[in-house]
Amino acid sequence: MVKAIIAPSLLAGDFAKIGCDCQRMFDCGSDWVHIDVMDGHFVPNITLGPPIISALREAVPRGGKDGKSASFFDCHMMVSNPEQWVPEVARAGGDQYTFHFEATEDPLALVKLIKANGMRAACAIKPGTSVDVLFPLAEYLDMALVMTVEPGFGGQSFMPEMMPKVKTLREKFPHMSIQVDGGLGKETIPQAAEAGANVIVAGTAVFKAQDPAQMIAFLRDTVTTSLQEKGLLTE
Task: Output the known binding site.
Answer: 9, 34, 36, 76, 152-155, 181, 183, 203-204
Cβ atoms of residues 59 and 38 within 8 Å = no
Q: Binding site for substrate: residue ranges?
A: 9, 76, 152-155, 183, 203-204
Instruction: Report CA-CA distances (Å) from 210 to 32, 154, 216.
Output: 20, 19, 12
For 81, 132, 152, 162, the CA distances from 170, given in Å and listed in that order, are: 29, 13, 26, 13
> Is 14 in the active site?
no
Residues annotated in the binding site for a divalent metal cation, as ranges?
Answer: 34, 36, 76, 181
Catalytic entry in 31, 36, 39, 74: 36
**Catalytic pick among 39, 74, 95, 181:** 181
Q: Is 95 a catalytic residue?
A: no
Distance (Å) of CA 207 to CA 24, 30, 123 = 10, 12, 25
Residue 212's H or E segment, with its range, is helix 212-229
Under DSSP, is residue 96 helix (H, G, I), strand (E, B) or coil?
Answer: strand
Question: Any idea how long the chain is?
Answer: 235
**Catalytic residues, which ones?**
36, 181
